[in-house]
Structure 1
Amino acid sequence: MLTESQLRNRARIYLYLIGAGLFFILALQNARYGLYGLFYAGLLLLPLLISGAVYAWQKRSELDAYKGHVVILSAAQCIILWQFLSGQAEVIHWSYALALLSFLLLSQSLALLYNCVSLFILGLSSLFTQSFFESVNFFVSYALLIGMAGLYAWLYHHKSRFLREITIKDPLTGAYNLRHLEFTLRQEIARSAAVGHPLSLVVINIDYFAQISEMHGLNSINELLAETGQLLLKETRAGDSLYHGRGSIFYLLLPFTPEEGLLVIAERLRRAIEAYKWKLGDPITASVGCLTREPDESDELALLKRLENSLQQAQSAGGNRVVFSKP
């Protein structure tokens, strides 16, 4: 399964290669009509775009590797500007393709900055080489193009964020779902192994949840889960993340947290649940299991299994307590 950064960089590679192919065809067409200046400009853009594909492949694991793309797009824009000032007025329309390409290669804000600078330089150059009407026509058309592309990029970005949120979050509790826990835990284990920082986990389960469900019904149970999620989110530190599993089980992922800090946090969460004034009116307690990853532990499923064993120990001992799992 490809990560988001891998998918984006693969798309960037394809875009560069498609762009190189299109400019190559464009160069051949201009050679057929005797426009050798445009022919040579197209040939100069060809290796530049291919180098962009190579750069995207080298940075395939980095989501925000924008510097190289800015350099490549700026160099391509300079080639277009050079040909335009040399008397090849038609080449200025090639900048439209680079404008659209920038929104696919760069972040939204960086693409807007790049295109605003390009618009200023090309528009100013157009005033000195073309008529006023042609300059205004180019300025307005380029501004409309980047405005529409920027709006589409903004809508796509927010829609993507919304879709991503609803696929990884539980709408009832506001916590992430179990599938996202497995994915994030795998990443955090790899980072912990590489950097050497501690990684801790907490699992929380409402005591006697089945009996509460039978007594109060589904609607009240949903309210209880929603309250629990909001309470735990309020108690969660910045950098930590909360996940909802099956039933009333919640997981807390705590990077950079050693055993001593973990026990303090786990106990604080247990007390917060015990002291909370629930809408059901009944006092509610929770069993808490926790662990700190050992240096040789790299399997996320085995780590979760050990964590759930500590929860079972807390429940078997009567509930409303914290149990730390030792390997």
Structure 2
Amino acid sequence: MICSQPRRFVALLYAATSLLLLLLAANHYMAGFYQAILLPAVLAPIFLGLALLRWHLDSAYSHDPAAIVALICMGLLIVLQPSTDAIPWRFVPMFFFPLLACLLLPKLGATLLSVSLGIAVLAVHPEELKQGEFLLLMLQYGLGLIIAITFASLPALQLRQLASLSDRDNTTDCYNDRHLKARLKAEIARSRATRRPLGLLLIELHQYESLRHDFGLSSSEQLMRDIVIVLRRNSRAGDELYRFDDQTLLLLLPNTTLNGALVLRERLHRLIQMESECELGPIDMSVTPLTLQPGEQIGGLWQRLRHSCYHTLSERLDQPTDTPTRHDFSPN
């Protein structure tokens, strides 16, 4: 979508469309084009009903659930409305239809609906292909579609650019790996200076890819958010949570030995199993404790973190490394 529209803005848009349809029906009546009155007169109360519904009801969906009805009604008007002058009037709003579709629907749905409208017009009115005005307006329609798709893509591109500059993961609001590298450098320096231990916990969700494949990305990300809530609520003051990669979280534990990380690991795993639910059944996860080794620098620690994740094992089958013992929590 071009943006996430407030419901009352969309309601006013539907109400304005209803008013325009009424004015169009009245104009056709005054001009004597009686055959062109029916569709605007029928669709005007439909748009008014959509406006009232949208004004009073909120929606949990990311897009307006009435948008499909509204756009189909507008498409029917464009395709079926009889011509009343030399240049068929219905083709004029076709230039604005793709932009309106991208305003109300996700980009893919808006594109499919706009292309379907163009095909329907060609199928219903093949005799008008010979008219130069028609061809010109169809070119305008194609231009409007290109503009709408480009316009709809801008927010996603801007969000990706902002995400690349941000220190936080968009889904979980955890710090991301960009911030983690900088933080690890500071923590390693602090650990060296104070001679205090530095512990870490890698929490890897093995069902992430299965959830994504079977139930969609929203399900896998929702489970990750649920786990993050449990970790934040039950971690100690001073611990920091990071999104290490798509299916792995990292809990940074300053001043924590391996034994302390093991104790915390047992506690957090039990709480995650109790307080989180997975659509595939019991949560299948591994929690791997690590500590900073004497003389270890950021490069070595980062490589050891990458090699401690199960899902990266296939990438290093021919690269044997000295990795810590993994602690796998698989359902019985």
Q: Contact between 1:10 and 1:60, CA under 8 Å: does it hold in 2? A: no
Confirm whether residue 212 of structure 1 aligns to residue 190 of structure 2: yes
Give 1:279's match in structure 2, choosing from 297, 320, 331: 297
Q: 2:144 corresponds to which letter in structure 1? A: L
1-side partners of 2:292 and 2:123: how far apart?
69
1:155 aligns with 154
> Is 2:130 the counterpart of 1:131?
yes
Alignment of 1:195-210 (within 5 A): none
Checking the alignment, whether the CA contact within 8 Å between 1:85 and 1:125 is kept in structure 2 is no
Which secondary structure state, in structure 2, belongs to the residue aligned with residue 272 of structure 1?
strand
1:95 alignment partner AA? M
> Contact 2:204/2:285 (CA < 8 Å) preserved in 1?
no
Give the conservation status (yes or no) of the 8 Å contact 1:12–1:104. no
Is the 1:41–1:83 contact (alpha carbons within 8 Å) kept by the matching residues of 2?
yes
Contact preservation (8 Å) 2:95, 2:140: no
Q: Verify the 8 A CA contact 1:115 1:146 in the aligned structure 2.
A: yes
Q: Which residue of 1 aligns with 2:73?
A: 75
In structure 2, the partner of 1:96 is 95
Q: Secondary structure at the match of 1:63?
A: coil
CA RMSD of aligned residues (A): 5.0
Identity rate, percent: 17
Aligned CA distance change for structure 1 residues 67 and 260 (closer, same or farther; 3 Å): closer
Q: Does 1:240 align with 2:218?
A: no
Q: Structure 2 CA distance, aligned partners of 1:19 and 1:213? A: 65
In 2 relative to 1, CA 148–276 (structure 1 residues): closer, same or farther, beyond 3 Å? farther
SS in 2 for 1:62: coil
Deviating beyond 6 angstroms after TM superposition, the runs of 4 or more aligned structure 1 residues are 85-88, 262-267
One-letter code aligned to 2:271? E
Q: C-alpha displacement at 1:155, in angstroms?
A: 1.6
Task: Sort the Cα spacing of 1:280 and 1:108 in 2 relative to 1 into closer, same or farther, 3 A.
Answer: closer
> 2: distance between equivalents of 1:282 and 1:175?
24
Q: Superposition pairs for residues 187-198 of structure 1, below 5 Å?
A: none
The offset of 1:149, in angstroms, is 0.8
Amino acid at match of 1:76: M
Relative to the length of structure 1, the TM-score reads 0.52
Distance in 1 separating the partners of 2:58 and 2:124: 36
CA distance in 1, matches of 2:124, 2:270: 61
Which consecutive unaligned segments of at least 5 residues does structure 1 have? 182-204, 217-224, 284-327
CA offsets 1:125-184 (integer angstroms, 9 cap, x no match): 333246342332222111111111111111233324544x479x52xxx55699x57xxx
The one-letter code of the counterpart of 1:110 is G
Deviations 1:27-83 (A, max 9, x none): 445555555555554333322222332443476222245664223321332233222
| Letter paired with 1:240 | M
**Which amino acid is the alignment partner of residue 136 of structure 1?**
L
CA distance in 2, matches of 1:276, 1:54: 68
Tell me which amino acid in the other structure corresponds to 1:14: L
Counterpart-to-counterpart distance in 2, 1:22 and 1:276: 75
Gaps spanning 5+ residues in structure 2: where? 175-182, 209-222, 244-248, 250-268, 276-282, 302-332
Residue 281 and residue 210 in structure 1: after superposition, are their counterparts in 2 closer, same or farther (change >3 A)? closer
Q: Structure 2: which amino acid aligns with 1:152?
A: F
Partners of 1:75 and 1:276 in 2: CA distance: 70
2:81 partner letter? Q
What is the alpha-carbon distance in structure 1 between the residues aligned to residue 295 and residue 28 of structure 2? 77
Structure 1 residues 275 and 118 mapped into 2: Cα distance closer, same or farther (>3 Å)? farther
1:259 to 259, 271, 291: 271
Task: Return the letter of the residue paired with 1:80.
Answer: I
Structure 1 contact 123–135 (Cα < 8 Å) conserved: no
Tell me the residue number matched to 1:52: 50
Matched positions, count: 233
Aligned to 1:63: 61
Give the TM-score, by structure 2 length.
0.52
